[in-house]
Structure 1
């Protein structure tokens, strides 16, 4: 076999192996599931089991999935930009084990969740804004004027427990029939 033919076949072999490896990684990581709205995509990484289990036992489980609360709802471009940014940050944190036992939402993520809480519960929140002076003592320095919904509603939708090893009701993934 000529040297040039050998290089062509070797290059083709390396290319086929690379494509096979890429397909394996996509399959093993369930990468395509991240394009869906299925909440099970959020537990592809074992560290999210706590959040998934507590969500399953919440009032939101029947009405709102992960993306309904955690991703922008204004348009698809913003949704997928946020999904890509969060996915990248999560994959880096999970790969290099740089996350803490009690996972905390990022400032950007918290802003999105707050906006979605207000949007979904608009009839309630509009009345709260009208009655804000009656319900909040802004003269008290311990009360922030920019409060987030979960500061009062601590158990919604992930329960009060934040540690990865201390989740009540975490009996595994409950299959919905």
Structure 2
């Protein structure tokens, strides 16, 4: 009986060590800790984001806004990391199971965050938006009555003309490891 207890204990310890080793390897291989940063290079850990990074890198937004500034809530740390966790989970599932489209579409939640950040950053233009509300915009915040988003008119900002895996054919050199 004593011998069986030892086997169970050793088997349990071995199982825990194997599971811990697999977890550490997964954290290392996926650059998981880099996603806690605000560095845009973290977004190109996934090859599908290379074209988005390459087009952003050539845009006017490069010097004023990174991925996090546009795609995540700003000012509320809890909301920011909650969104990061949800997006991270959804991305890891889609990339692991290969269920994403080549031309990745933003989620409704992500689109509302980007819209809020467009309005936040471009608040100085709100006076112009209000002056032209009868022609183009109806909401006091610059939103459109039809629910249209800023990028429906400003569609080439900041990711260029086409966003897909083949839109930037020379982007293969973009991928850089986080240091």
- Alignment of structure 1 residues 1-177 onto 2, 5 Å: 2-133=3-134, 135-136=135-136, 145-167=146-168, 170=171, 172-173=173-174
Contact 2:70/2:117 (<8 A) preserved: yes
SS of corresponding position for 2:171 = coil
The separation in 2 between residues aligned to 1:170 and 1:80, in whole angstroms, is: 29
- Structure 2 stretches lacking a partner, 5+ long: 139-143
Q: TM-score, normalised by structure 2?
A: 0.86
In the TM superposition, residue 5 of structure 1 has moved relative to its aligned partner by: 1.8
CA-atom RMSD in angstroms: 2.1
Partners of 2:67 and 2:28 in 1: CA distance: 22
Q: Distance in 1 between the 2:130 and 2:95 partners?
A: 39
Deviation digits for residues 5-29 of structure 1, max 9, x if unmatched? Answer: 2221221122111111110011001
CA distance in 2 between counterparts of 1:51 and 1:88 reads: 19
TM-score by length of 1: 0.87
Asked if the contact 2:50–2:175 (Cα under 8 Å) also holds between the matched residues in 1, the reply is no
Offset, 1:95: 1.3
Q: Once the two structures are superposed, what CA deviation does each residue of 1:66-86 show, in whole Å capped at 9, x if it has no partner?
A: 010000113011111111111
Unaligned 5+ runs, structure 1 = none
With over 3 angstroms needed to count, the CA separation of the structure-2 counterparts of 1:86 and 1:131, relative to structure 1, is same
Equivalent residue of 1:74, what SS? coil
Secondary structure at 2:115 match in 1: helix
Q: Answer yes or no: is the 8 Å Cα contact 2:38–2:68 preserved in 1.
A: yes
Query: Structure 2: how far apart are the matches of 1:93 and 1:82?
Result: 16
- CA separation of 1:137 and 1:59: change in aligned 2, threshold 3 A: closer
The 3 A distance-change label for structure 1 pair 137 and 92 is closer
